């Protein structure tokens, strides 16, 4: 009898403990801003967060980087955050459509595609058409992902059909396969090449203008620090934020 009670108690304690761990650590007093941002924004947003903390003493910015679609899903499941920055309008639409946004989203940056090749460029890629050469191993993002949708748009505009050997679910995987030399070329963002610091070489192509990804940002209704969120948004869309984004390779919104 006692043993059974002890077992049930233990099970309950375990459940309660993990539930406690499950809640996001954002139960902070003082000012903590939780920002969900697309993975490609990692470098510029980290810089912006540090400068924001410096200029607003007593605040702390918690950053969470992941694929825009994953973030949108988490927000839909009730994850607590103050700000959401998406890599494309489609994923932002999921959030606004669910009534989670505070006010309307603002566009703050854009990103264009570029061809990434291993530093030595063994296959001698110089243009988008070269990617369709038989025997060339090209890796792209899958159409379901923002960078993949952009690639499909470029294909449509140029009329060049690609036959990739792999359609990855994240730009990081594309970059990885090019950097390791497995692929001759990959289609990634300009910002990814810049962030790769020499592991890949970028080959820009003029048709990239045909598919530009616009990045929207919004404050969230479920956030605890709406005022602070507004300030952060101003920072991002303001002069200093735009400079940081441009340094990272992003284009104007």
Task: Establish if 123 lies at the interface with another protein (CB under 8 A).
Answer: no
Q: Which two tokens stand for residue 22?
A: 């499950």
Q: Which two tokens stand for residue 74?
A: 């988490």
How many separate helices (H) and strands (E) can be counted in the chain? 9, 9
Q: Which of 69, 86, 213, 218 binds another protein (CB under 8 A)?
A: 69
Least distance CB 231 / another protein (angstroms): 32
Task: Establish if 181 lies at the interface with another protein (CB under 8 A).
Answer: yes
Candidates 24-32, 34-42, 142-150, 189-197: pick the segment binding another protein (CB under 8 A).
142-150
Q: Which of 167, 207, 226, 253 binds another protein (CB under 8 A)?
A: 167
Task: Establish if 98 lies at the interface with another protein (CB under 8 A).
Answer: no
Alpha-carbon span 150 to 129, nearest angstrom? 16
Token pair 């990634």 is at which residue?
A: 188
SS3 content of the chain, % helix, strand, coil (to 5): 45, 25, 30
Our measurement of the distance from residue 36's CA atom to the centroid of its chain's CA atoms, rounded to an integer in Å, reads 9
Task: Establish if 177 lies at the interface with another protein (CB under 8 A).
Answer: yes
Least distance CB 42 / another protein (angstroms): 19
Q: Which residues pair with 184 in a beta bridge?
A: none
Nearer to another protein, 177 or 224 (CB): 177
Q: Which of 4, 20, 27, 134 binds another protein (CB under 8 A)?
A: 4
Alpha-carbon span 165 to 53, nearest angstrom? 44
Nearer to another protein, 14 or 246 (CB): 14
Q: Are 48 and 236 in contact (CB under 8 A)?
A: yes
Number of residues that bind another protein (CB under 8 A): 27
Task: Establish if 144 lies at the interface with another protein (CB under 8 A).
Answer: yes
Beta strands of the chain (E only): which ranges? Answer: 31-38, 59-66, 83-85, 101-117, 138-141, 166-168, 185-189, 201-203, 212-220
Q: Which residues pair with 83 in a beta bridge?
A: 35, 219
Q: Which of 13, 16, 124, 180 binds another protein (CB under 8 A)?
A: 180
Q: Which of 46, 158, 169, 242 binds another protein (CB under 8 A)?
A: 169
By CB under 8 A, name the binding residues for another protein: 3-4, 6-8, 11, 67, 69-70, 73, 137, 139, 142, 144-145, 164-169, 173, 176-177, 180-182
């Amino acid at each position: 009898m006692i043993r059974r009670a002890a077992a049930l108690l233990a099970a309950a304690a375990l459940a309660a403990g993990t539930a406690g761990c499950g809640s996001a650590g954002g139960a902070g007093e003082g000012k903590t801003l939780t920002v969900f941002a697309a993975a490609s924004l990692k470098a510029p947003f980290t810089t912006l967060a540090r400068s924001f903390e410096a200029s607003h003493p007593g605040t702390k910015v918690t950053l969470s980087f992941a694929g825009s679609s994953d973030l949108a899903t988490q927000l839909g499941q009730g994850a607590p955050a103050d700000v959401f920055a998406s890599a494309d309008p489609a994923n932002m639409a999921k959030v606004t459509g669910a009534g989670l946004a505070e006010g309307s989203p603002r566009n703050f940056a854009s990103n264009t595609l570029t061809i990434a090749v291993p530093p030595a460029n063994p296959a001698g890629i110089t243009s988008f058409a070269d990617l369709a050469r038989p025997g060339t191993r090209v890796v792209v993002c899958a159409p379901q992902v923002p960078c993949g949708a952009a690639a499909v748009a470029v294909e449509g505009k140029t009329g060049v059909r690609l036959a990739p050997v792999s359609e990855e679910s994240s730009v990081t995987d594309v970059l990885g396969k090019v950097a390791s030399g497995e692929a001759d070329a990959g289609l990634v963002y300009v910002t990814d090449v810049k962030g790769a610091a020499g592991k890949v070489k970028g080959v820009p192509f003029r048709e990239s203008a045909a598919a530009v990804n616009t990045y929207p940002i919004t404050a969230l209704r479920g956030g605890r620090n709406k005022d602070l969120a507004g300030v952060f948004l101003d920072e991002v869309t303001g002069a200093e934020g735009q400079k940081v984004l441009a340094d990272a390779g992003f284009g104007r919104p």
